Structure 1
Amino acid sequence: MSDIPHSPPEPRAQPQSAANPQIPRTGRNGRGLAHELVSAFTGKLRSGAIKPGERLPTESEIMQAFGVSRGVVREALSRLGAAGLVQTLHGIGTFALESSPQSRFQIESPSLDGLADMLDVLELRASLESDAAGLAAMRRTDEQLREMRNALEDFGRHLTTVGDTVAPDFRFHLAISQAAGNRYYGELMGQLGLAVIPRTRVSSSWLDIERRTEHLQKVNQEHQDIYAAIERRDPEAARAAMRIHLVNSRERQRKAYAADAR
Structure 2
Amino acid sequence: MNGRPSFFDTIKQTPNLTSGLIDLLVERIVSGELAPGQRLPTEQAIVSATGVSRTVVREALASLRARGLITTRQGLGAFVSDKPISKTFSIVPEELESIPDILHVLELRMSVEVEAAALAAARRDAGDLKRIEIALGALEEAIGAAAPGAEEDFAFHRAILEATHNPYFARFIDVFGASIIPRQRVRLGAMPSAKREAYLRRIQKEHEAIFAAILAGDAAASRRAARAHLTKSYERYAALREQAGTVAPEPLTAHGRG
TM-score, normalising length from structure 1? 0.75
User: Partner of 1:108 in structure 2?
Assistant: 91
User: Partner of 1:161 in structure 2?
Assistant: 145
Q: Does 1:96 align with 2:78?
A: yes
What percent of counterpart residues are identical?
A: 32
What is the correspondence of 1:77-226 to structure 2 with a 5 Å cutoff?
Answer: 77-80=61-64, 95-96=77-78, 102=85, 105-109=88-92, 110-203=94-187, 206-226=190-210
Q: Does 1:47 align with 2:61?
A: no
Letter in 2 for 1:73: V
Relative to structure 1, the CA distance from residue 162 to residue 94 in structure 2 (aligned partners, 3 Å threshold; closer, same or farther) is farther
Aligned length: 239
Relative to structure 1, the CA distance from residue 94 to residue 241 in structure 2 (aligned partners, 3 Å threshold; closer, same or farther) is farther
Q: Does 1:249 align with 2:238?
A: no
Contact 2:37 2:79 (C-alpha < 8 Å) held by counterparts:
no
Q: Does 1:30 align with 2:16?
A: yes
Relative to structure 1, the CA distance from residue 71 to residue 163 in structure 2 (aligned partners, 3 Å threshold; closer, same or farther) is farther
Provide the rounded CA distance (Å) in 1 between the counterparts of 2:172 and 2:158: 9
Instruction: Please list the CA deviations of residues 50-91 of structure 1 after superposition, one character each: whole Å capped at 9, or x if unmatched.
Output: 28xxx7231xx424423546664353144346668567x9xx
Q: How far off is 1:249 after superposition?
A: 0.6
Provide the rounded CA distance (Å) in 2 between the counterparts of 1:46 and 1:135: 39
Instruction: Please list the CA deviations of residues 90-127 of structure 1 after superposition, one character each: whole Å capped at 9, or x if unmatched.
Output: xxx99338969749651222322301010011011111
Relative to structure 1, the CA distance from residue 27 to residue 161 in structure 2 (aligned partners, 3 Å threshold; closer, same or farther) is closer
Contact 1:166 1:194 (C-alpha < 8 Å) held by counterparts:
yes
Segment of structure 1 superposing worse, 225-234 or 195-204: 195-204
More helix by share: 2
Unpaired stretches in structure 1, ≥5 consecutive residues: 9-13, 17-21
User: Partner of 2:42 in structure 1?
Assistant: 56
Relative to structure 1, the CA distance from residue 252 to residue 115 in structure 2 (aligned partners, 3 Å threshold; closer, same or farther) is same
Letter in 2 for 1:229: A
Provide the rounded CA distance (Å) in 2 between the counterparts of 1:94 and 1:253: 44
The 4+ residue runs of structure 1 with deviation greater than 6 A are 41-46
Provide the rounded CA distance (Å) in 2 between the counterparts of 1:180 and 1:45: 34
Instruction: Please list the CA deviations of residues 121-147 of structure 1 after superposition, one character each: whole Å capped at 9, or x if unmatched.
Output: 101111110011111111223222211
TM-score, normalising length from structure 2? 0.76
Segment of structure 1 superposing worse, 139-148 or 111-120: 139-148
Letter in 1 for 2:20: L
Contact 1:126 1:243 (C-alpha < 8 Å) held by counterparts:
yes
Question: CA RMSD of the aligned region, Å?
Answer: 3.5
Provide the rounded CA distance (Å) in 1 between the counterparts of 2:15 and 2:189: 19
Provide the rounded CA distance (Å) in 1 between the counterparts of 2:122 and 2:195: 36
Contact 1:78 1:190 (C-alpha < 8 Å) held by counterparts:
yes
